Structure 1
């Protein structure tokens, strides 16, 4: 079984924090167990990302205990090749399991498929520093699909890819991803990274994105429901 490299997780996190305009993540503990990011969202004030869960299971035990004892609503995100083992650890710590079937994925952006949005949708692309936002609008003015990408060095991290339920099954997700990849390559990016939801995995796989690891997400037991 291949090991997920901690450096790949760090690269994804660097782009994710840039995409969301969050402060740079800070180290958790003295053993390099993980990184902590301040999200300041209701029900998600802090998020901790495990870096060595598979190679050092004790590091995950320490992180889970810290999340369980946190005073702020804290999530624990764990890229892993061993989701069952991770789930056992977070359950033992008393954490609430939120997601166990998300994927960390990567892609070579140089050959990323391009898809123009079908009529009558129009594409809007806005770039502010390292972050590009793509929106597909219906003639009514409604945003039918959207997404963002942040370029950090040679990496481009896609985030918040969404299609409104009323506009699904029209290829809009593919059009958004193609536009994000095109913008990222224009800024010098070569590798795409993202965490895919269970709903998004099929779309990304069809566009050539590869699974690097599973992702398990849990949170402290006192947190309110909802993501």
Structure 2
């Protein structure tokens, strides 16, 4: 593979915004180098996603320049098979790397392993339209783990897969991903997409998810407030 397909990135962005109940991302004109999302998170007002970093390297420079000139806190997410080259471009634009070891991963959901939570944990699955939220609770009812998956056509995008530190290494991540995959397949999804942290990719790889690209995330300089 010499590049990651823009449509795959676009599907991930659409699912990410759906999973987080955000407005649909908008194309960045006039060149259409990427997508822009109002992400409404503390320390991150806007997120920009590069669509053609490897196919058109100059597009990353244009996006990075726009992020560097932004007046609101803006992050730039770049899926790429050439992370060293991308890192040099974003650094030249004056951006600061927030994450350099994220990973874009895919899987065939129809072949996803099936795991249930071990006692005393119980699983709760709630589906609202295209979005499924799986929660795992301990015997006291305390939330131990939680994850979300949004279905976009034949793709399902996993997001915010989290296990409380006190409940880790008990198979909860496997049980949660199994439930999310099962729900997505029942809604017609066949391919799973996610962006994994360095820690999370070990879990996903053990469940059959495959590395499709590296992901670099950089932040633009924030102009000091005038008092």
Band of TM-score, shorter chain: over 0.9
- How many residues align structurally? 224
Partner of 1:215: 215
Compute the displacement of 1:140 (Å).
Answer: 1.6
> 5+ residue gaps in structure 2?
none
Displacement of 1:29 in angstroms is 2.3
1:25 corresponds to: 25
1:138 alignment counterpart: 138
Residue 192, structure 1, aligned to residue 189, structure 2: no
Q: In structure 2, what is the Cα distance between the partners aligned to 1:53 and 1:180?
A: 30
TM-score relative to the length of structure 2: 0.96
Deviations along 1:99-122, one digit per CA (max 9) or x if unpaired, are 111111111011100111011000
Q: After superposition, give the CA deviation of every residue in 1:175-205 in whole Å (9 maximum; x if it has no partner).
A: 0000000000111111111001111000000
Tell me, in whole angstroms, the C-alpha distance in 1 between the residues paired with 2:62 and 2:33. 8
For residues 2 and 212 of structure 1, what CA distance do their matches in structure 2 show?
11
After superposition, residues 33-182 of structure 1 pair within 5 angstroms as 33-182=33-182
Contact kept, 8 Å, 1:47 with 1:75, in 2: the verdict is yes
Query: Please, what TM-score do these two structures have when normalized by structure 1?
Result: 0.96
Please identify runs of 4+ aligned residues in structure 1 that moved more than 2 A: none
d(CA) in 2 for partners of 1:223, 1:56 = 29
C-alpha contact 1:28 1:34 (8 A) present in aligned 2? yes
Runs (5+) with no aligned partner, structure 1? none
SS of the residue 2:216 aligns to: strand
Q: SS of the counterpart of 1:193?
A: strand
Cα deviation code 1:9-63 (max 9, x no counterpart): 0111111111111111111121111000000112111000001111111111010
SS in 2 for 1:87: helix
Which residue number in structure 2 is paired with residue 16 of structure 1? 16
Measure how far apart 1:141 and its partner are: 1.6
Kept in 2: contact 1:43–1:223 (CA 8 A): no
Post-superposition offset of 1:223: 7.8
Correspondence 1:7 to 2:7: yes
Change beyond 3 A, Cα 1:223–1:176: farther
